[in-house]
Chains A and B, each alone.
Chain A
Amino acid sequence: MSDNTHQNPQPVPFRGGGFRPQRIRGVGLAVFILLIAFVEWGTRVGFISNLTLPRPSAVFATFQDLIETGMLWKHLLPSLSRLAVGAALGVTVGVGVGVLIGLFSLIRAGLVPLVAALFPIPKIALLPLFVIWFGIDEGSKYALIALGTFTPTVVATYGAVDNVDRTLIRMGQSFGLGWFSIVRKIVLPGALPGILSGLRVSIAIGIILLVAAEMLGAQYGIGAYILEAGSLYDLERLFAGVVILSGLGVLTSGLIGWIERRVLAWRV
């Protein structure tokens, strides 16, 4: 080997790194603030006309007004109770049916096509039907939200049951565990991560349907409030309503995240 191969050592060029999402705090908030500040500046300068977008400070003032007059609760509480009752119904039945589909081939064969047929129907189209069936009051709204949360919950649940590690079930059988024990101690805990991530989607759909139902027939509720503001072209109030809905979405998603962190601490 000649001598000059040993001269001029060069560092090996680095080619790794990247392709790994990292958690960066505060950026999300900064984007929000920048966007709002830009709109505020634009509306003040007149670069954005107040027919295009309301001034954020005016929306904020409207929101404060809502709180002070107590109208916020008057609208928010019925909405929350509709969402809670409807989603609780839909999710409970959905998880139950999903587990049954996951466990029994006969039920799977019978119900999977039915769920597939129900899933793509825009549930809001059925509201007139529900009004006849369950009455114009709360009943039809509960039914609408329940049906809307039911289908995604069923699909997520039986998918989650299908994905439970079969070797764990084999293990349970090999130790002579009973059928109910296997379901309760192996299948259900194993399906929980999938069920909870399905719940995120279901609740978001529930909120959308809640607003839709309230727009079609309610005196109080976020949806009714937004509809009224929209028909008067009161952009400040409309945006105040939208902010409440966004807040509701962030809140429920945060709640599910909190449950996941507590219940699924065993996940790798």
Chain B
Amino acid sequence: MQLTLDAVSHRYADVTVLSDISLTIPEGQIVCIVGPSGCGKSTLLRFLGGLERPDQGQVLQNGPVPQGCLNPLTYVFQDFALLPWRDVAGNVSLVLEDHGIRGTKAAAVIDDVLARTKLSDFRAALPKQLSGGMKQRVAIARALAVNPAVMLMDEPLSALDAQTRELLMDDLIALWTRAPFTAVYVTHNLSEAVRLGHKIVVLSRRPGTIREIVEIDIPLTERHAGDPVLETHQARLWQLMREEAEAADKELGHV
């Protein structure tokens, strides 16, 4: 399935946060959205998944959903959003129950996604017992369980430390290589963007507009930390963002 943003603009009270954004998320690709803080990247993601409505413009979905898809547009949140009173398997089963998948059928799905995210040994653990990286793995497993058409990832690794982030990036690449998924990946971390993005969309500071779209055609599996080509891309992205970030930092809050 392909997602399209068509001339989307949005304002909160008297502040324009996004202005005239048009963008297509092609099937089977990871599109990273980067930009200075407060540029509206998370708002954009909420529009894409229908959690919020833009003032102007529209969000369109186009094409069939994959077979057995329960929830076409599925989020992975920065703060994991796990139910603390349910164990790992229970958190995954939460999103199956409402679609009438219970019992052995649910157990099969849960086993499968926990194996894919290396969580099989932790099915009975409560979230409070898990590290941050493990919690995000559970959230990813939960997202995979509904077999989404598009994954909407809102800074999924930003709450984790640098080492865990590296490990999870490798896991995400492995997951994508096994079964390429469509994803929109919002981040402020440029090294994540160049490692995971087929396309990197740079937003300007408020009001957010698309400053540039960078395409990287190295296959995900061949990208490694310290790769000179990636470093060049990252340096260029930083150049684009630097001024914006500086100016955004000096702005007064509108809260």
Contact = CB atoms under 8 A, between A and B. Distances in A.
B98 A171 contact: no
Interface string A166-201: 011011111111100100011001100000000000
A189 B85 contact: yes
B81 A267 contact: no
A268 B74 contact: no
Given A185-B83, A266-B128, A268-B128, A170 B51 contact: yes
Contacts of A186: 83
A268 to B, nearest CB: 5
A176 B81 contact: no
Interface residues of B, number: 24
A176 B101 CA distance: 14
Interface string A235-268: 0000000000000000000000000000001111
B182 interface: no
Contact of A170 (B81, B97, B126): B81
**What secondary structure prevails in chain B residues at the interface with A?**
loop
B74 A174 contact: yes
Interface in B86-104: 86, 94-95, 97-99
B138 interface: no
Contact of A185 (B84, B94, B128): B94
B77 interface: yes
Given A168-B83, A266-B85, A266-B126, A174 B98 contact: no
Contacts of A178: 98
A22 to B, nearest CB: 22
29 contacts: A167-B81, A168-B81, A170-B77, A171-B75, A173-B51, A174-B71, A174-B73, A174-B74, A174-B75, A175-B71, A175-B74, A175-B94, A175-B98, A175-B142, A175-B146, A176-B70, A177-B94, A177-B98, A178-B98, A181-B98, A185-B94, A185-B97, A189-B83, A266-B84, A266-B85, A266-B126, A266-B127, A266-B128, A268-B128
Interface of B: 49, 51, 70-71, 73-75, 77, 79, 81, 83-86, 94-95, 97-99, 126-128, 142, 146
Q: What are the 10 A-B residue pairs with the smallest beta carbon separation, nearest first? A: A171-B81, A266-B85, A175-B95, A174-B75, A268-B128, A266-B84, A189-B85, A176-B71, A177-B98, A167-B81
Given A170-B81, A268-B84, 6 more contacts: A168-B83, A171-B81, A174-B51, A175-B98, A176-B70, A185-B83
